[in-house]
A and B are shown apart, each in its own frame.
Chain A
């Protein structure tokens, strides 16, 4: 079945890099996403990567995709206290387009001053 796994918690110091990891099971997923959720708020799309790409960089964010191992990571450079939030990895399962997303449990990122 479709499943997305993430570690639950990560703590870093301000200015360090953060790396949040995710594994997924559906090898036919077309897109993989990273969402950010701040306390009491909805989900904000941070970035996404198409399945035929290995890497995508967007300012402080770098997404790496290892399709062979079904492993996705999000690196945040120069992490700031404002980056403290829950980060969700999600896949769009199947090769077709259904509008479905399967989410991981979320990784809580704590940034210490």
Chain B
């Protein structure tokens, strides 16, 4: 199993540009989540999904969209990037028991 994979690893955007951060898992996990990590603030939940076709907002959803058309994939979309979205983004997945979440390696995003 590859576990949780994220692409790209690094990205630089200009303000106003759009992009999609990809996340995929091959463990047949029902739950998937997106977090952002900023210095001194830990990880904050952006959006999460408890199964294909079901998504919900986390603590900081503004400026981000998600969809979950398959169990494997959970892309995060930035429709119009802002400098405040400069961060490290982590995707995670877990089986429904939530005894543990598996994290991807992260995507470092810089918005100029």
Taking Cβ atoms with an 8 Å cutoff, the residues of A that contact B are 4, 6, 8, 30-31, 33, 41-45, 48, 88, 90, 92, 97-106
Contacts and interface: CB of A to CB of B under 8 A. Distances in A.
Interface string B23-60: 00000001111010000111111001110000010110
- 8 shortest A-B CB distances, which residue pairs? A99-B31, A103-B42, A103-B43, A105-B42, A43-B103, A42-B103, A42-B105, A45-B100
B101 A45 contact: yes
B45 A100 contact: yes
A94 to B, nearest CB: 11
Nearest to A104: B42
B43 A92 contact: no
A97 B98 contact: yes
A90 B33 CA distance: 14
A102 B45 contact: yes
B86 to A, nearest CB: 17
A31 to B, nearest CB: 6
Contacts of A45: 100-102
Q: Could you say which of A31, A88, A101, A102 has the most chain B C-beta atoms within 10 Å of its C-beta?
A: A101
B78 to A, nearest CB: 20
Given A31-B98, A99-B48, 14 more contacts: A30-B98, A41-B105, A45-B100, A48-B100, A88-B42, A88-B43, A90-B43, A97-B97, A99-B94, A99-B96, A99-B101, A101-B35, A101-B92, A104-B42
18 contacts: A8-B40, A33-B100, A42-B103, A43-B90, A43-B103, A97-B98, A98-B31, A98-B48, A98-B50, A98-B98, A99-B31, A99-B32, A99-B33, A99-B96, A99-B98, A103-B44, A105-B40, A105-B41
B45 A42 contact: no
Interface centre among B42, B101, B104 (most CB of A within 10 A): B42
Contacts of A6: 42
